[in-house]
Amino acid sequence: MLDLLIQNGLIFDGLGSAPIRGDVGIQNGRIVGIAPNLSTPASEVIDAAGLWVTPGFIDIHTHYDLELEIAPGLSESVRHGVTSVVIGNCSLSVAVGEAQMLADIFQRVETLSHRLICKWLKKSISWQTPAEYLQHLQQLPLGPNVAPLLGHSALRAHVMGLERSLTVQPSKFELKLMQRIAADALDAGFVGISIDMFPWHRMSGEWQGYTIPSQHAKFQEYAMLAKLCKQRDRVFQVTPNLQKLASFVEILRMGSGFGKRLRLTVLSALDAVHNRQLWRIFSPLLFIWNRLLNGNVRFQTLTEPFTIYSDGPVTPLFEEFTTGAQLNGCKSRQEREKLWQSESFCRQFRQEWLSKWRNSFHRRLDLMEVVRCPDASWQGLSFAEIARQKQQQPVDLLIQALQEYDTDLRWVATGANDRLKPRLAMMQHPHIFPGFTDAGAHVRNLGYYDGALSLLKQAVITNFLSPEAAIYRVTGEPATWFRLDTGVLKVGAKADMVLLNPNALNQPISPQVEILDPVLDGEPRMVKRGSDEIVQGVYINGVRVVSEGKVSDRLGRERLGNVLSPC
């Protein structure tokens, strides 16, 4: 007898094949039959008439490393159909290192909740090596499957000590030790290694304001890690320095060449507001890289507008200029007020804001809208509109508002992917994964947990991809490229599946909303809602963990997901 029989659904295999109408039989967490009409008795029968049956979605870019230790069900992703996540991105992981050191590396880069950090620090680290970390993950009551990358910042700080990792280059012995630990991690089952060159990513704690350890490495160190991944056919994830052309040259060198190819994934392909032609470079660049230089490169893009919420001067958008980074580094409102009292600081902030040199954020005050403010008349207006009303220069109005209201002023801006045509072109490109969500990071600033559903909605509305092609892009395709045993519906596969109502996909991308998250003891968090009508059911290991928007209490209490290693 089967444990579960799903009947009459339109079945998508996750490989891009045309869907078939039929039944799926499940026993002991595995798919044991797919056919037009299965007659085997079952303990539970679900009539999926009118529904799509798809593989669970894969989120290839998350920062759930700390949250997994506190709430391993990861319900904010699972409720939107995600059944597998890749962690350890952007050089950040907790696979090796002392707890406080890892917290200091993570907290400011990903603007993680202080309460989440405190909860994590109260738990003792029971592992000493990457292999032991994998064993630890296997013991957690995982909701989704987890595929870990080894983070270079954690590795470098562990081997060199935090201070030396931020100030000097490794000795030959330290480089060899890094190489050995990284090789052992890959051999133990890590899916790859991540490095970071992005200059906004800064430390908290004792080394407040320093860029994180991975950014202090030189090419030799990066190349050593890339070589390990190439030898073992593992993934090498890179976040480049957008302000330094040399970083792109280094990445190009690592990801090119004949013989065995490096599985290289790069953040990120975006249609940036500050440079409306930038998105056009990705297609010819990938043609040269992959076709002419024998690369195996995949950029990642966001499936919706890159909209970020900010609390006054506390925002990742300010990390790219000196005075903004100083404000982010302050521990209290009083510290920020002290900075604003300096005329030279205000003058420098104004100069840096108006500078067009190497901007990544557009800084257009006509595109920065007030969401919440003690002066309720500001809500819904841009800073430029408010400045016109008050007959002030917009930048002077911004400085005054940041001084007066600090984090009581909440504002929002969209920095990229706001135009439909470029966004669809990137999501359709065969060498750009539509899968960058940052789930688990920047919880006060953004929440793109339903990235796969956003892709499907746009496919249904615009027909830029067929349903089977869109589903393939967030299931079988990333699974194959990352070498993960998931993402397809076939006999013998683990029963990680989603039941979708296709009629409900014909709607706009869901807006981000703010909730008070019990995982963070009631702290605010940006999330997505609006999938309840679309996602009729989510199954992990054959267990229904989401039903019409309701998350089962089994999620996070019993182990359903696995630690995924390359297959």
In this predicted structure, what is the pLDDT of residue 362? 95
3-state secondary structure of 6: strand
In this predicted structure, what is the pLDDT of residue 114? 75
User: In whole numbers, what is the pLDDT of the chain averaged over residues?
Assistant: 95
- Identify the sign of the CA torsion 459, 463, 469, 473: negative
What does the alpha-carbon distance between residue 493 and residue 476 come to, in Å, rounded to a whole number? 12
Could you list the mean pLDDT of each consecutive 10-residue stretch along the chain, which spans 567 residues?
97 98 98 95 97 98 95 97 98 95 90 79 87 97 98 98 98 98 98 94 93 96 97 96 80 85 95 95 95 95 98 96 95 96 97 89 97 97 98 97 98 98 98 94 95 98 98 98 98 98 97 93 93 97 96 96 96
Contact assessment for residue 45 and residue 7, using Cβ atoms and an 8 Å cutoff: yes
Task: Tell me how far CA of residue 275 lies from CA of 198, 260, 272, 306, 393, in angstroms.
Answer: 18, 35, 5, 14, 24
**DSSP symbols for 40-66:** --EEEEEE-TT-EEEEPEEE-EE--TT
In this predicted structure, what is the pLDDT of residue 302? 98
What does the alpha-carbon distance between residue 119 and residue 123 come to, in Å, rounded to a whole number? 7
Cβ of 291: how many Cβ atoms within 10 Å? 10
* Tokens found for residue 374: 């003690």
The domain 78-305+416-443 is placed in CATH, from the list 3.20.20.140, 3.40.50.1580, 3.10.310.10, 3.40.50.150, at 3.20.20.140
DSSP code of 412? Answer: E
What does the alpha-carbon distance between residue 9 and residue 20 come to, in Å, rounded to a whole number? 8
In this predicted structure, what is the pLDDT of residue 243? 75
In this predicted structure, what is the pLDDT of residue 440? 94
Domain ranges of the chain: 78-305+416-443, 307-414
What does the alpha-carbon distance between residue 300 and residue 540 come to, in Å, rounded to a whole number? 26
* Tokens found for residue 548: 């019409």
Residues 6+ away with beta carbon under 8 Å from 204: 103, 104, 107, 108
Q: Which helix (H) or strand (E) holds 240?
A: none
What does the alpha-carbon distance between residue 55 and residue 17 come to, in Å, rounded to a whole number? 13
Instruction: Print the SS3 string covering 256-323.
Output: CCCCCCCEEEEECCCCECCCCCHHHHHHHHHHHHHHHCCCEEEEECCCCCEEEEEECCECHHHCCCHH
In this predicted structure, what is the pLDDT of residue 259? 82
In this predicted structure, what is the pLDDT of residue 446? 97
In this predicted structure, what is the pLDDT of residue 7? 98
